[in-house]
Amino acid sequence: MISQTSEYALRAVIHLAHYSGSARTTQQIADATRVPSGYLSKVLQALARAGLVRSQRGLGGGFTLARNEAEVTMLDVIRAVDQPLERINACPLGLVTHTELCPLHRKLDEAVEWVEASFGSTMIADLLGKGEVEPLCDASTEKDVTLRVTRNKSE
Amino acid sequence: MISQTSEYALRAVIHLAHYSGSARTTQQIADATRVPSGYLSKVLQALARAGLVRSQRGLGGGFTLARNEAEVTMLDVIRAVDQPLERINACPLGLVTHTELCPLHRKLDEAVEWVEASFGSTMIADLLGKGEVEPLCDASTEKDVTLRVTRNKSE
């Protein structure tokens, strides 16, 4: 449905929202979100270019959200790193006689429209799972990763 | 929303449905659907492996639909060439504590569910635009391509 890059960007932003205020290093975010750190680094750069995250250099530095998680939608994050949800406004075949979309492209566009509306009305704050049993990428995740990595190594 | 490969597969199947009964060569399908013939060839092979199209060798040979277009869904075609619409059944991070989907993956899965239901209930026959002004990949398309190619060459 969405690209790997978009999924990783969403995980990173949700992680930063969990830690709102405290800067997180690429490695900390990578561990919690289970994204390879080289890949994550590129994702974070794209998010920074889009003004969604901010990086601070030096000791105690790292990434923080640049905007309030209640004002950033899933779609903002996806669009910052990818172009997968473009509406189909004109015939992709470039057929000059197709002044309206054909039934195929109308159907495909209808799906994009639905997904766009769904992701565009879901705030990052809605995804934090506050008060729910299983939030994504919370502190317990990191502990879990550590345990699992240790276990794998000793196996 | 869907991959380039899926889009090309849908165009090819719709084209074959327009010509139900008559075999179409890769070049004829490529011209009408505006897909590079090398790429299209791979797409047609995948569709053949999935039992959606049939190829006949020799003079007058080419591709035909292997199943009735009223019994093949958009989703059948997409799934024959790609795996983009998989439901999310378990935590993609492999978190052992996530026995249920977190809010992020629930939201993403909800979108897959909607799209799957939409494409899974749309038959190829529904996309032929019969009685509508602008069907995709009909005979006029090929004429249009010829005209356009000629025009580009002389420019």
Task: For A15, name the nearest residue in chain B, comparing CA atoms only.
Answer: B104
Look up residue B56 and give its DSSP letter.
Answer: E
In the predicted model, what is the mean pLDDT of residues B74-99?
81
Q: What is the tens place of the pLDDT at every residue in B3-42?
A: 899 999 999 999 999 888 799 999 999 998 899 999 999 9
Residue to substitute from B101, B114, B136, B145, interface A, most A β-carbons within 10 A? B136
Cβ within 8 Å, pair B128-A103: yes
Q: Are residues A6 and A82 in contact, defined by beta-carbon separation less than 8 angstroms? A: yes
Output DSSP code: residue A64: E
| Beta-carbon count within 10 A of A76 CB | 20
- Do residue B100 and residue A134 have CB atoms under 8 angstroms apart? yes
Do A14 and A129 contact (CB within 8 A), yes or no?
no
Q: At the top level of CATH, which class does the domain A4-84+124-146 belong to? A: mainly alpha
Task: State pLDDT tens for residues A91-139.
Answer: 777 666 666 778 888 899 999 999 999 999 999 999 987 655 444 544 4
Question: How close B12 comes to chain A (CA, Å)?
Answer: 12
Write the class of the CATH domain B4-84+125-145: mainly alpha
Annotated domain spans of chain A:
4-84+124-146
Tokens, residue A30: 């990578």
- Tokens 């890769």 correspond to B26
Q: Are residues A115 and B115, on separate chains, in Cβ contact within 8 Å? A: yes
